[in-house]
Amino acid sequence: MDFYLAHLILESPTIIPRRRSATGYVGVQKTIPGSTLGGAIIASLRRHNRITAQEAEEIVNNHALISSPAFPREKRLLYPAHPFIWKCKKPGCGRYITTLDQVLKVLGDGGELGPYIIPSTCQEGHSALEKIHPKPLPAATLRQGCGRPDEKEEGLESVKVISVSVSRHRASSIVGALYSYEALPTGLEYWAILAVKEGILDEGIDVIRIGRGVSKGFGKVKLRLRKIEIDKLLNEAPAKSGYTVLYSLSPVVLKSPNHTIDLSMYSQVTGRSTAGKVRLMAVYGSSLTVGGWDIRKNMEWRVVNAASPGSLVAAELQGGGVDLALGLVLLGLLGEKIDFDKFRVVGVNMLLPVNTVLGDVLAS
């Protein structure tokens, strides 16, 4: 497998809706789902005759292209916020407060968190604190918090388009045929992790079409790829058994309370020796429903009670050495495949060591 850090630049308004209503697409998502991005890349390869229809089918069936969600990117990478950071809502303050160091110490010793971990005031004594998780923020802010009393934060302004059908006989609008779109504006930048079978993206790919309304000009995205250096990530990965804390860059899906991930499965995928197990003990994050529509099976699939990207996972590592460290790195880049009764979910449980994420190692 080849691993890439993808850089996306929106060249036209892009429809990534929160939901669909009777009159159109409502709201926009701040992150682009991994399944949406991966499907858009496969569709673009097929559209430009870089792969055949059979090859596209094989890529999907064999999960030869896996994408993390795409997160906003400004001058630096932004990561989904963990649950232990808050922002002061008092006008003129706006400071970020985090108790992450305490959390890592307690969970790293195998302990359990208590109410003491939640602050009551900011550094200035203001008690109006707003939870930020899973809003994207820079790694330095997520690690240390910071004071931002003079920095003005701008919200995401979406583009709203209203379409109406015109009667060819009356040359006027048709009553009840109003349809609206809400789209991400041109110029926004995103980043994502791509895991791709060797050879599929060797020639690169410049432009993809993503989201809804691509036939109407929406969703034109410029794509740049840079290979991820595995050795840099290995330096931050634990190489011995014991308790640790992992940072999720994808939804977290558990089939059972004692969910255990066997890292040796990545040896078959990558051809490199991996070993060890990860027992997930507790997940700290907001709940999320993961779902979509399987076009080939013509069915909707849905997983409830998943956890949002940015969740922290308390885990116990079993094993040791370089093989364990490499297995943890590949878990963060590939995630896990989980089978349910009628469908399989891929690209979930992309868990990296906290120091890898908050040390901004991916950007180096």
Residue found under tokens 């003079």: 150
Identify whether the C-beta of residue 89 lies closer than 8 Å to the C-beta of residue 129: yes
Q: Tell me, what's the pLDDT at 152?
A: 52
pLDDT by residue for the chain (364 residues), tens only, comes to 899 999 999 999 999 988 877 777 888 888 999 999 999 999 999 998 888 999 999 998 888 999 999 999 988 999 999 999 999 998 888 899 999 999 999 999 999 998 889 998 888 888 889 999 999 999 999 998 875 544 555 566 788 878 787 877 877 777 767 778 888 999 999 999 999 998 888 777 889 999 988 888 899 999 999 999 898 899 888 889 999 999 999 999 998 888 999 999 999 888 889 999 999 999 999 999 888 877 777 888 888 889 999 999 999 999 989 999 999 999 999 999 988 888 888 999 999 999 999 998 998 7
Provide the pairing of β-strand 189-196 with 65-67. Answer: antiparallel
Q: What pLDDT is stored for residue 274 in this prediction? A: 93
Instruction: Kindly give the pairing relationship between strand 136-138 and strand 78-80.
Output: antiparallel
Domains 2-75+177-228 and 231-363 share a fold: no
Which of 137, 133, 140, 124 shows the shortest CA–CA distance to 88? 124
Q: Can you name the CATH fold of 2-75+177-228?
A: Elongation Factor Tu (Ef-tu); domain 3 (2.40.30)
According to DSSP, the β-strands at 351-353 and 277-284 are: unpaired
Q: Is there a contact between 113 and 154 (Cβ–Cβ < 8 Å)?
A: no
The single-letter code of the amino acid at 287 is S
Q: What does the domain layout of the chain look like in residue ranges?
A: 2-75+177-228, 84-132, 231-363
Question: What is the spatial distance between Cα 276 and Cα 264, in angstroms, rounded to a whole number?
Answer: 7
φ and ψ at residue 49, rounded to 5 degrees: 60, 30
Residue 279 amino acid letter: R
Closest CA to 305 of 340, 254, 249: 254
Looking at 200-296, which runs of residues are DSSP E strands?
Answer: 207-209, 220-227, 242-248, 260-262, 277-284, 287-294
| Fold category of 231-363 in CATH | Immunoglobulin-like (2.60.40)
What is the predicted pLDDT for the residue at 339? Answer: 87
Predicted pLDDT at 150:
43
The confidence score (pLDDT) of residue 270 equals 83
Determine contact, residues 280/315, Cβ cutoff 8 Å: yes
Position 149 scores a pLDDT of 47
